[in-house]
Amino acid sequence: MQIDFHAHILPGCDHGSERRRTSLKQLTLARDAGVDIVCATPHFYPQRDDLAEFLKRREDCAKRLFDAMEETGEKYPKILVGTEILLCDNLDKLDGLEKLCLEGTNILLLELPYTGFSVEMFDTIESLNSSGKYNIIFAHVDRYDKNQIEQILRLGFPAQINADSICKTFVPLSIKRWIKYGAVISFGSDIHGTDEGYVNWNKAKRRLGNKWSSVMKETEKFIFETSKI
């Protein structure tokens, strides 16, 4: 099973897709790349977004996409609705945080701030983890300072990386190591728009071979076994 764990495909929900037509094109590209499940993960910024308004927008945008898919009569990958949540201080105290989990699971996909981590952010991560309510995974860790990422990985948290990070001429040794030793349990297209589509998805799949398949099995286990509510 091929699972795209991180994609911005809900029309009008964030800057990933501006209209239904774009979203359908994204799903067509995913289907043609052999993807079976796409996790729709629109951005949520706790310090800027109102949770109730975000949830309503996400619901409305998802319905627009599901209606459009049905109207075409074509077969598309299955969609699981979730969220990409920007980590901030006191996120653990957000009332209703569980509503941002990936559909049917207790998975929280957290995006790290590019400005670096504070002690308070580590306290927030530990609070979320110790609550026993969530399974946390960190989004596109290939984008950040490797030393800070390894602080998080040493705590036992799993990671998602973007497929395009595998397609560079020189793949950082840290990324290779994270994949080799099982810290990376999912890949994402992180698709915005349709310009690049899933070209890098297929390149990464070919480059990693059996290791790609192993990670996909871990993704499936994480969603359908480990993280059931």
Q: 180-184, 197-201, 220-224: lowest mean pLDDT where? A: 197-201
Domain span including residue 185: 3-226
What confidence tens digit (pLDDT) does each residue in 8-62 have?
999 999 998 999 999 999 999 999 999 999 999 999 999 999 999 999 999 999 9
> Which H helix or E strand runs over 219?
helix 210-221
Residue 196: predicted pLDDT? 74
The CATH number given to whatever domain includes residue 143 is 3.20.20.140
| pLDDT band, residue 95 (cuts 50/70/90) | very high
* Cβ atoms 103, 80 nearer than 8 A: yes
* Cβ atoms 109, 69 nearer than 8 A: no
Residue 18: predicted pLDDT? 92
**Above 90 in pLDDT, residue 194?**
no
**Percent of residues, the chain, with pLDDT higher than 70:** 99
> Which H helix or E strand runs over 40?
strand 37-40
Find the helix packing angle between 210-221 and 173-180, rounded to 10°.
60
- Select from 111, 108, 16, 94 the least CA-distant residue to 62: 16
Exposed, middle or buried, 39 (CB in 10 Å: 0-12/13-18/19+)? buried
Say which amino acid occupies 1.
Answer: M
What confidence tens digit (pLDDT) does each residue in 103-133 have?
999 999 999 998 877 778 889 999 999 999 9
Residue 225: predicted pLDDT? 86
Number of domains in the chain: 1
Distance CA 148, CA 141 (A): 10
Residue range 5-10: mean pLDDT, rounded: 97
Give the chain's end-to-end CA distance (angstroms, integer): 22
| pLDDT band, residue 228 (cuts 50/70/90) | low
In the three-class reduction of DSSP (H, G, I as helix; E, B as strand; rest coil), residue 77 is classed as coil
Residue 223: predicted pLDDT? 95
Residue 216: predicted pLDDT? 97
**Above 70 in pLDDT, residue 136?**
yes
pTM of the model: 0.95
Residue 226: predicted pLDDT? 75
Distance CA 148, CA 142 (A): 11
**Above 70 in pLDDT, residue 227?**
no
Residue range 80-84: mean pLDDT, rounded: 98
* Cβ atoms 197, 191 nearer than 8 A: yes
Residue range 136-144: mean pLDDT, rounded: 95
Name 162's bridge partners: 188
Residue 168: predicted pLDDT? 87
- Residue 32, CB half-sphere, CA atoms under 13 Å: how many? 10
Residue 11: predicted pLDDT? 97
pLDDT mean across residues, the chain: 93
